[in-house]
């Protein structure tokens, strides 16, 4: 899509923030997983570290999916204009999942970029 520098920038920043989330959650998952395996659990803080590991694992998988969707959408923005509606919808879904899960800034950026992409496509189809 031509003249979509704003969307490109928002998606790139959001995907980069999601990548930081992947690195941070991966580190937290490995540390928490090692504590569970060695028997030094976090039961005083959480009441059961298996639940903590499961939540960190879910957030980690969410961050990986959002990061992949963000970077793929960034590359597809200029290459394949026929599937931009699909990528815009996936970006909105990814933004909602990010808001629910791990990153407020990533979610807002993905939602805004996805909505802008869909509005630009609808505007172009009307003309």
> What residue has token string 């039961």?
43
Contact between 66 and 94 (Cβ < 8 Å): yes
pLDDT tens per residue, range 67-117: 888 888 888 887 767 778 888 888 898 888 888 777 788 889 889 998 988
**Predicted pLDDT at 57:** 79
Check: CB of residue 114 under 8 Å from CB of residue 32.
Answer: no
* Residue 58 in tokens: 């879910």
pTM above 0.85, yes or no: no
Task: Tell me the DSSP string of 102-119.
Answer: T-HHHHHHHHHHHHHHHH
pLDDT band at 44 (very low <50, low <70, confident <90, very high): very low
């Amino acid at each position: 899509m031509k003249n979509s520098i704003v969307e490109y920038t928002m998606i790139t920043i959001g995907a980069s923030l999601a990548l930081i989330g992947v690195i941070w959650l991966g580190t937290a998952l490995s540390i928490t997983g090692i504590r569970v395996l060695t028997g030094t659990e976090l039961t005083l803080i959480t009441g059961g570290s298996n639940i903590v590991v499961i939540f960190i694992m879910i957030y980690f998988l969410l961050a990986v999916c959002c990061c992949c969707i963000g970077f793929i959408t960034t590359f597809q923005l200029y290459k394949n204009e026929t599937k931009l509606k699909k990528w815009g919808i996936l970006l909105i879904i990814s933004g909602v999942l990010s808001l629910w899960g791990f990153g407020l800034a990533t979610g807002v950026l993905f939602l805004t970029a996805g909505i802008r992409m869909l509005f630009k496509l609808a505007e172009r189809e009307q003309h």
